[in-house]
């Protein structure tokens, strides 16, 4: 057990939160965890009141992008106990991102102790409503105050949380990428690096202007092979088979993705992880075999896709998918994940982790 000092704010802001009307990512809980990396080790682990941080204008991360993050959620089960979903996988994945970005590992026990301590203190911030959660944002960034393209020698690791409602409130209308790319094999696409998301903002803005919700990202060579859907992994149901793009170095190794694949295989559904092209989707749609499509990720869990558009002779062609209410696989998978999280269903894979609650001493 790591030695984590705790300092709480004078008063809690919890009473000001309307849990029936939660925006995503705009409300933050009372505490945050902070640790510093210097002299080759993590030190000064502490929980402090959520507050701004001070940076030098020459902070290396601001100029050269040495910054990574994770996205997790805490839930309440049917008995009101705070629960985490596969937290150890997030500890593993942030270190894979750190390795790719030439940053130090965060010891898994420090990561787990930090998350448990923080959620234990702010457990009352977990929304009770089904579909809502306490979003957890661990992140690490360089802190050397220097101008120079190199790895930093010092870093800060912070975790903060905030109650959130559903990420997407309706099925998505996608447009297929044909000019911009999200990531390429050999790049940092499978790391949760801040720059990945910055690169997606401009083309996503263009998609919104054209009337679409998100982008169906494709490869950088022919804009043909599908990678992800917005900020999520993507799945297609073609006939009796669930198909998802294989991990090729440009695609994030989603924990929700892995969980859905595990559930599908356990129940005997045919699953394929392989390259899939927009041409294959167009043909499957023409034949009436494209019966379901959905994105998968921590923030959204399962988000159904209503339509996929692509350009043909300079004009958009829209492929409308079956009514979302009629789909079996995406509806069932979302229910299964949510039931496991609420402990309304068995947890045969040992994914759920109960958090021990504690009472913050305000003031």
Q: Tell me the CATH number at 285.
A: 3.20.10.10
Of the three residues 139, 166, 193, the one that is the final residue of a domain is: 166
> Is 351 part of a structural domain of the chain?
no
Of the three residues 120, 148, 166, the one that is the final residue of a domain is: 166
Same domain? For 201 and 334 the reply is: yes
* Alpha-carbon distances, residue 210 vs 106, 199, 317 (angstroms): 42, 19, 13
Same domain? For 309 and 202 the reply is: yes
* Tokens (6 digits) for 5: 């000092």
Cα four-point dihedral sign 148, 180, 195, 94: negative
Rounded CA gap, 123 and 30, in Å?
A: 10
**pLDDT tens, residue by residue, 232-287:** 999 999 999 999 999 999 999 999 999 999 999 999 999 999 999 999 999 999 99
Q: Which residues contact 315 (CB under 8 A, 6 or more apart)?
A: none
Taking residues 101-113, report their average pLDDT: 98
> Is 129 part of a structural domain of the chain?
yes
Same domain? For 200 and 138 the reply is: no
Q: Which residues pair with 277 in a beta bridge?
A: 225
Distance of CA 205 to the CA centre of its chain: 20
Same domain? For 129 and 183 the reply is: no
Same domain? For 74 and 56 the reply is: yes
Domain residues for the domain of 145 are: 5-166
Q: What pTM value is reported for the model?
A: 0.95
Of the three residues 106, 135, 166, the one that is the final residue of a domain is: 166
> Is 361 part of a structural domain of the chain?
no
> Is 355 part of a structural domain of the chain?
no
Q: DSSP 3-state assignment of 193? A: strand
The torsion region of residue 65 among left (phi > 0), alpha (psi -120 to 50) and beta comes to left
> Is 362 part of a structural domain of the chain?
no
Same domain? For 211 and 155 the reply is: no
Same domain? For 190 and 267 the reply is: yes
Rounded CA gap, 322 and 275, in Å?
A: 23
Phi, psi of 263 (to 5 degrees): -65, -45
> Is 134 part of a structural domain of the chain?
yes
Same domain? For 261 and 195 the reply is: yes
> Is 350 part of a structural domain of the chain?
no
**pLDDT tens, residue by residue, 34-76:** 999 999 999 999 999 999 999 999 999 999 999 999 999 999 9
Number of domains in the chain: 2
pLDDT surpasses 70 at 363: no
Same domain? For 187 and 308 the reply is: yes
């Amino acid at each position: 057990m790591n030695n984590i000092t705790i300092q709480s704010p004078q008063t809690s802001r919890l009473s000001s939160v309307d849990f029936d009307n939660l925006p995503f990512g705009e409300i933050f809980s009372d505490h945050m965890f902070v640790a510093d990396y210097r002299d080759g080790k993590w030190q000064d682990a502490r929980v402090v009141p959520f507050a701004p941080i001070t940076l030098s204008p020459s902070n290396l991360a601001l100029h050269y992008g040495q910054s990574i993050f994770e996205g997790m959620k805490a839930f309440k089960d049917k008995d009101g106990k705070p629960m985490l979903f596969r937290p150890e996988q997030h500890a593993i994945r942030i270190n894979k991102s750190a390795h790719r970005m030439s940053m130090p590992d965060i010891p898994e026990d420090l990561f787990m102790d930090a998350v448990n301590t923080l959620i234990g203190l702010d457990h009352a911030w977990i929304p009770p409503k089904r579909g809502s959660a306490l979003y957890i944002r661990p992140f690490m960034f360089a802190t050397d105050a220097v101008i120079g393209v190199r790895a930093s020698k010092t870093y800060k690791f912070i975790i903060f949380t905030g109650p959130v409602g559903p990420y997407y409130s309706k099925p998505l209308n996608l447009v297929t990428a044909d000019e911009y790319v999200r990531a390429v094999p050999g790049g940092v696409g499978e790391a949760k690096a801040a720059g990945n998301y910055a690169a997606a903002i401009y083309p996503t803005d263009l998609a919104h202007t054209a009337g679409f919700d998100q982008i169906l990202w494709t490869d950088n060579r022919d804009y043909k092979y599908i990678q992800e859907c917005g900020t999520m992994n993507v799945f297609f149901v073609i006939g009796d088979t669930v198909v998802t793009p294989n991990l090729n170095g440009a695609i994030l190794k989603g924990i929700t993705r892995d969980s859905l694949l595990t559930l599908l295989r356990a129940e005997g559904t045919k699953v394929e992880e392989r390259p899939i092209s927009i041409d294959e989707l167009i043909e499957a749609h023409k034949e009436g075999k494209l019966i379901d499509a959905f994105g998968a990720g921590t923030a959204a869990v399962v988000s159904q896709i209503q339509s996929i558009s692509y350009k043909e002779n300079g004009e958009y062609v829209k492929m409308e998918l079956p009514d979302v209410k009629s789909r079996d696989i995406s509806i069932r998978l979302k229910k299964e994940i949510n039931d496991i999280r609420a402990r309304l269903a068995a947890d045969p894979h040992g994914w759920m982790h109960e958090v021990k609650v504690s009472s913050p001493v305000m003031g």
